[in-house]
Structures are given as structure tokens and as C-alpha cells.
Amino acid sequence: MGDSMTGIGIDIGSTAAKVSIINNEEIKNFYMPTGWNSRETALIIRQKIEGLGFKNYKVIATGYGRVSVPYADKTITEITCHAKGAYYLYNDDITVIDIGGQDTKVISIKSGKVSSFSMNDKCAAGTGRFLELMANSLGITISELCSLGKDDTAIKISSMCTVFAESEVISLIAQGTKKEDIASAIIEAIISKVSSLVQKHGNNNKYFLTGGLSQNPIIIDKLSKKLKSPIFTHRDALYAGSIGAALLSIE
Ligand code: ADP
């Protein structure tokens, strides 16, 4: 451990900080909440890395908080790192859909490289933040929200704006609408928002889901039905950005 071939990728997202360590062709991943102070989070990450016995390593930082990693040798944008990591995990050209805490990205990969990308970072409605806020209104976790909302419903959340959607949810609760129906309507709202970004991005027929929401089979199933295309993922898909950064650090 700790030889010159150790590469570390740190992806400081809006919600979670993801870390990947490549050593002797093995990848270790861990994550922690970003919290209020991403600089402090970065320092805790360094302590953890050194606690694992790594002393001599290269670090590439990526993600929204990439500038808060003072010990990084280099920073690289999320798009490049995500594409690199997703290509490593899927091992073929594909279109990556990354639904994170505060933005959603669609990245097409051709011959292992980014060929085009689209991004929604202006509006919370098609991101993890939307699910978080709605789960809070219902007093449940995101996982509980997804399980409750696995079936279809006739109830619709008509507002495209998160703030108005939240008031709609609150009035549905007040009217005594079943939690299951509200949950389904919430999931339907985020799925439509994400799929319209994907469809605008254009002509693709298979997808690889990364980011926090890739951990949820109900999201994958519903998005796949909406896009009428298979959606692949990987148990480490949450780490696509940090894995990509770690790989780039040892190139
Ligand atoms: P960021 O890079 O912006 O920090 P992530 O890709 O790490 O975002 O994703 C964080 C988001 O993932 C959270 O906002 C949350 O909505 C969502 N999330 C976390 N766990 C789950 C889960 N089990 N099911 C669905 N969504 C989840």
C-alpha cells in the first residue's frame, strides 16, 4: 500500500462526497455526507485515506465542490469524470443518465469518450433534491417514498416548479389522499422531468444510470418504462464520478 501507483478520485457533490481509491488494480469506495462545509469534509476524507495507510498518492477532485479539496493535484469537470467512470463500469459505449442531488446530466459516450452532453442545473424538479423535499413533506425517507410509490396512480402533480409542487403535496395530504398515491405522483413527476431532458438530448436506445438515484430499483424500472429502453446500472454507479477521477489520476 501507499506506493506511487495509488490514485484517488474525490467527487464532492451537493449531497454526498464520494471517494475512490485505486491501488494494485483494486478499487475501494466510500462516501460521506458533504455537509455544510465541503472544505472540512475534504479534510476528514484525507484523514480517512491516511488512516487506511495510503501515504503516497495522486488526487483528482471533481464535482460541484472540487475547488474545496486543497490537497488535490488537479481538478477535472464532472462530465469527463462521470463518462470515464461509467465507461469503466459498463465497458461499452452508452448514454449515461446521472441524477444527483442538485443536477441531472445526460452524457453520450462514443469510443469511450464524451460525444455530447445535456444538463439540467437550473431547476430542482428533475433532481434528487425534489425527492428529498417531497419525502420530507410526507415525513418519510426517500427509500420509503420509492417503495410506497411503486404502482401507478391517477393523481397528478401538475406544477413543474418544486416550490409549487410541495404545496400541492401538502394539500393532497390535507385532503386525505392515500400516501401511496401521493408517492406515485411524486415519482411520476421526477421521471417525466428526467425523461424529457433525455429525449431532448436525442437518439439513443440504451442507458446507464449513475448518481444517488441509481441505487433505487423502482426509479430504474419506472424510468425504463417511460423511455421504452433498457436501463443498466452497477452497484458502484453512485461512484462513477470518483472512479473516473481516480482512473484519470493514474493515467
Ligand atoms: P451529488 O453528487 O449532487 O451529491 P448524488 O449523486 O450523490 O448527488 O445523489 C444524492 C441524491 O441521491 C440525494 O439527493 C437523494 O435524493 C438521492 N438518493 C440517495 N439515496 C437514495 C435511495 N436509496 N433511493 C433513491 N434516491 C436516493
Q: Which atom of ligand 1 sits closest to the CA of residue 210? A: 6
pLDDT at 7: 98
Q: How far apart are CA 109 and CA 96, in angstroms?
A: 8
Please tell me the residue having the least CA distance from ligand 1 atom 18.
Answer: 212
132 Cβ inside 6 Å of ligand 1: yes
Please tell me the residue having the least CA distance from ligand 1 atom 26.
Answer: 213
Distance 28 CA to ligand 1 centre (A): 20
pLDDT at 153: 94
16 Cβ inside 6 Å of ligand 1: yes
Please tell me the residue having the least CA distance from ligand 1 atom 17.
Answer: 212
Please tell me the residue having the least CA distance from ligand 1 atom 16.
Answer: 128
Please tell me the residue having the least CA distance from ligand 1 atom 3.
Answer: 101
Distance 4 CA to ligand 1 centre (A): 33
Q: How many CB atoms lie within 10 A of CB 115?
A: 12
Query: What DSSP designation does 154 have?
Result: S
211 Cβ inside 6 Å of ligand 1: yes
Lateral strand order in the sheet of 95-99: 113-120, 104-110, 95-99, 207-210, 231-232
Task: Spell out the domains of the chain, with CATH numbers in brackets.
Answer: 6-81+240-250 (3.30.420.40)
Query: In angstroms, what CA-CA distances link 111 with 41, 77, 83, 198?
Result: 35, 19, 11, 20
Encode the chain (251 residues) as per-residue pLDDT tens digits.
444 589 999 999 999 999 999 998 899 999 999 999 999 999 999 999 999 999 999 999 999 999 999 999 999 999 999 999 999 999 999 999 999 999 999 999 999 999 999 998 888 888 999 999 999 999 999 999 999 999 999 999 988 788 899 999 999 999 999 999 999 999 999 999 999 999 999 867 799 999 999 999 999 999 999 999 999 999 999 999 999 999 999 99
Distance 70 CA to ligand 1 centre (A): 25
Distance 56 CA to ligand 1 centre (A): 31
pLDDT at 124: 86
Please tell me the residue having the least CA distance from ligand 1 atom 24.
Answer: 216
pLDDT at 4: 55
Please tell me the residue having the least CA distance from ligand 1 atom 25.
Answer: 213
Q: How far apart are CA 27 and CA 193, in angstroms?
A: 34
153 Cβ inside 6 Å of ligand 1: no
